Chains A and B, each alone.
Chain A
Amino acid sequence: MDRDPFTRHLDEPDFSPSDPKHRELVSLLKEIAALEPPDPGELYWSRFNQRLDEKRHRARAHRAGRHHARWGIWAGAMAAAAAMILLIWAGTRSPVDARSLDDLSDETLATLHDAFYIQEEEPPETVDWGSSEVDVILQAYDPNYESLLLESGGAVQEELQWLKANWNVEG
């Protein structure tokens, strides 16, 4: 069917096609144009704007809530991601160090072992202090140390000499 007569009517509503088939289509179009919605009534229109305002505020509040929730989710996700990264980092740190220890030469390992051995096994008392250091300690403990030595007989001096000599041996 040629649509020109019908489309001409669309442009010029006063134009009526001569062909009955087209006239039927135009008549159907007019019938649809005449379809009108029922009037919702004065009460409806009097409350329309107030309802619109309420709906608008509700929509805004809902959107703000969603916005905050989105931020909350985002912040939570970021915190979880940071925690995850920290956990992974902490978890992978020891094996990496262990592997690097494996790569160290025996000489380096021995040095490290000695260093740790000294720190852990040798108490400060066993450090090789000289006799003069023992004197300092004894003086600090008793300021009359020298006079005591002079006053004391040879037995005490001998005893102290023995103590100085064996200090580093027995600790």
Chain B
Amino acid sequence: MAFVRLPVRNRTDRRDDAMEEDRVSIQAFLCGDQAAFTALVNKYRQGVYALAFRFARNHEEADDLAQETFIKAFENLHRFRGDSSFKTWLFRITTNLSINLTKSGRIAKDAGCQPEEGSDPKEADGLGQLIVNERNDMLHRAISKLPPRQKQALLLKTFQDMTCEEVARVMECSPGTVKANVFNAVRRLKSLLKGEQDHG
């Protein structure tokens, strides 16, 4: 029995496939196929919402950010040059919108995570979970005190295994700048958490 050796598909191959698939959908949408855009929304809406929630820490704001991201993408898709992936482009819109919201004061610096109807019930499961929740709240509070660029770099780098190069494309800077921002953010976060623990 002869075995056919299939090529090992690594992360880069998968990303290239996804980019090609997106490119086809974008072309179809630009030619008037509205359903192609719906396909793109269905593919990325969870990722966009999750990223928005990282910045907003609030369901309503995260929902607004996610919807606004897709509205902007819909209106400006003809300007998408394809230099980066569609996902990177979407994430850039989301982060820019969230930064604008933070600047405008709509995202409060100490906004807490509010439980929503239909949210994951495991969050309030026992004492252990309460401790985890408290620790998460503490982390979120500390993250919200970071300078915008450090916060952006940290939240993107720790989101969906993004590489420094991908984060750099979203932030429109060099990978070196991303690394420096993440390093400074984590160091600052450590001292902020220490300060909070000392006071708590």
Which residues does A use to contact B, with CB under 8 Å?
1, 3, 6-7, 10-11, 13, 24-25, 28-29, 31-33, 35-45, 48-49, 51-52, 55-56, 59
Contact A28 B120 (CB under 8 A): no
Contact status B59-A10, CB under 8 Å:
no
8 example contacts (A-B, Cβ-Cβ < 8 A) are as follows: A25-B183, A28-B193, A32-B189, A35-B139, A37-B53, A41-B116, A42-B118, A49-B42
* Residues in B neighbouring A6, C-beta threshold 8 A: 183, 186
Q: How far is the CA of A25 from the CA of B74 in the complex (A)?
A: 39
The reply to whether A52 and B59 contact each other, CB–CB distance below 8 Å, is no
CB of B93 within 8 Å of the partner chain: no
Contact B54 A37 (CB under 8 A): yes
Interface-lining segment among B2-10, B95-103, B156-164 = B156-164
B7-41, CB < 8 A from A: 38, 41
Q: Which residues in B have some Cβ–Cβ distance to A below 8 Å?
A: 38, 41-42, 45-46, 49-50, 53-54, 59, 62-63, 66-67, 70-71, 74, 113, 115-120, 123, 136, 139-140, 143, 154-155, 157-159, 161, 163-164, 178-180, 182-183, 186-187, 189-190, 193
CB pair A51 B154 closer than 8 Å: no
Q: A7-B179, A7-B183 known; A39 and B120 CB under 8 Å?
A: yes
Q: Are B118 and A43 in contact (CB under 8 A)?
A: yes
Instruction: List residues of chain B with CB within 8 A of the CB of A59.
Output: 71
User: How many Å lie between the Cα of A37 and that of B161 in the bound state?
Assistant: 16
Would you list the 5 A-B pairs with minimal beta carbon distance, nearest first?
A41-B118, A37-B53, A33-B158, A38-B119, A7-B179
Determine if B179 and A51 form an interchain contact, defined as CB atoms under 8 angstroms apart. Answer: no
Query: In whole angstroms, how far apart are the Cα atoms of A71 and B59 in the complex?
Result: 38
Contacts of A7 in B (CB 8 A): 179, 182-183
A52 touches B186 (CB 8 A): no
On whether the beta carbons of B143 and A38 are closer than 8 Å, the reply is no
- A45 vs B42: C-alpha distance in the bound complex, in angstroms? 9
Of B41, B50, B53, B161, the residue contacting A52 (CB under 8 A) is B41
| With A24-B190, A29-B186, A49-B42 as contacts: A40 and B139 at CB distance below 8 Å | no
A-side contacts of B187, CB under 8 Å = 1, 25
Query: How long is the Cα–Cα vector from A31 to B143 in the complex, in angstroms?
Result: 12
In the bound complex, residues from chain A placing their C-beta under 8 Å from that of B67 are 48, 51-52, 55
Residues in A whose Cβ lies below 8 Å from that of B161: 13
A55 x B71 contact (CB < 8 A)? yes
B157 engages A40 (CB within 8 Å): no
Q: Which of B54, B120, B163, B186 has the most CB of A within 10 A?
A: B186
Question: Given A25-B186, A33-B158 in contact, is the A10-B179 Cβ separation under 8 Å?
Answer: yes
Query: Is A10 within 8 A of B158, CB to CB?
Result: no
Given A28-B190, A52-B41, A40 contacting B136 (CB threshold 8 A): no
A117→B161 CA distance, assembly (Å): 100
Cβ of A48 and Cβ of B62 under 8 Å apart? no
> Judging by beta carbons under 8 Å apart, are A3 and B190 in contact?
no
A32 near B154: Cβ-Cβ < 8 Å: yes
Q: Which residue of A lies closest to B114 (CB)?
A: A38
Residue of A nearest to B163 (CB): A11
B117 surroundings in chain A (CB, below 8 A): 41
Taking CB atoms, residues of chain A closer than 8 Å to B178 are 10
